[in-house]
Amino acid sequence: MDHNPSARQQPADRPPQPHPEPELRPGNGPGDTPQRRTAVIAGIGHWLPPGVLTNAELGARVGTSAAWLHSRTGIDSRHVVAPGVVTADLAVEAGRQALRSAGADQVDAVIVATVTPDRICPPTAPEVAARLGHKGVAAFDLGAACSGFLYGLAVADGLIATRTAERILLVGAETMTSLVDPLDRATSAIFADGAGAVVVRTGEPGEQGAIGPVVLGSDGAGSDLIAVPAGGSRRLASTTPDGRAEQYLSVSGPEVFRHAVKRMAAASQHAAALAGWDLADIDRVVAHQANAHILAAVGRKLRIPRGRMATNIQQVGNTSAASIPILLDQDAAEGRVKPGDRILLTAFGAGLTWAATTLTWPALPTTP
């Protein structure tokens, strides 16, 4: 069965009506400006692979101490996939949890934010949709690196605002360990694997769970600061020993730190202003878990007390586009985020890309 509402057949005796007329209500009647439709979080879930790589194990592999690795990253352990486990596997598990949380058996679109697709072609999202029982719906990948989940929220909000979809599954899923040199202590200490997902439904601005204005930005002049040199049309992947390094992620640490702090702080201030919020009134900042030192610097720049800066990087590491939904789900399940809390989301990643948005946390069932 095709779950795309725009694809359903219409009676032959009247012209196609792709979407029903909006319900008439105060402020949305004849002559009034229609109430804007917005994306509202209706369910959330995450999945972390069971394999865990500790600093002690990693230190033995790369020739350094567990204490040194922690001092540079704030990370003590990270989840890693087993051989043969791919990004789609993680996305399906997280998506299933989010659908269960939302009590939803249908969606109109599936978006997978990732920089580690199963293959360059085809995209990963259609397979994820099919495995979850949503054949026939719109499904596509979104590549904005660590900002991908927030870019995905903006896209989902647009699809709902234009009546293209009523309910959307958005997944951030990464197998970042597939991109890092296992002998490079800098990148292998930071990046990890995991997936987080939300279901968003059609709603109205102002209700709990509604996505606020999303601030998006990029600066391609810094595209080489976080990059995998080979594997695309610019430079094919090499199978020679000398070319292997170009297939791995490289990060220019000091420059990335400077840009990340500056961009996340500025985007956060802008998003809060658009929402009409004072930064002092924000209950929780859920930032992309890039590095413990970056998170601390962003908190200081925004003057957010440490206790309001959400973090799980010590046990989860940097899971790129998956980090924000994973952290949100964990915080909600453990009571650190409660219905009615004002939440600020912000991220920075390769591209360079950055994003921020706001929402008031809704009451949601939590998944095991």
Give catalytic residue positions.
146, 288, 318
Amino acid sitting at position 143: G
Q: What is the rounded CA–CA span in Å between residue 113 and residue 128? A: 12
Neighbours of 288 (CB within 10 A): 33
Cβ neighbours for 74, distance < 8 A, ≥ 6 positions apart: 291, 292, 293, 295, 313, 314
* CB-count burial class (<10 Å; 0-12, 13-18, 19+) for 307: exposed
Q: What is the rounded CA–CA span in Å between residue 249 and residue 118? A: 16
Give me Rg for the CA atoms of the chain: 21
Angle at 197 between CA 194 and CA 199, to 5 degrees: 175
Peptide linkage before 123 cis (omega within 30 of 0): no
* CB-count burial class (<10 Å; 0-12, 13-18, 19+) for 11: exposed
Yes or no: say if 293 and 271 are a contact pair by the CB < 8 Å rule.
Answer: no
Neighbours of 356 (CB within 10 A): 30
Q: What is the rounded CA–CA span in Å between residue 342 and residue 338? A: 9
CA distances from 296 to 39, 223, 300, 311 (A): 30, 24, 6, 10
Enter the tokens of residue 284: 């929780």
Q: What is the rounded CA–CA span in Å between residue 286 and residue 347? A: 9
Please name every residue paired with 225 in a beta bridge, in sequence order, or none if there are none. none
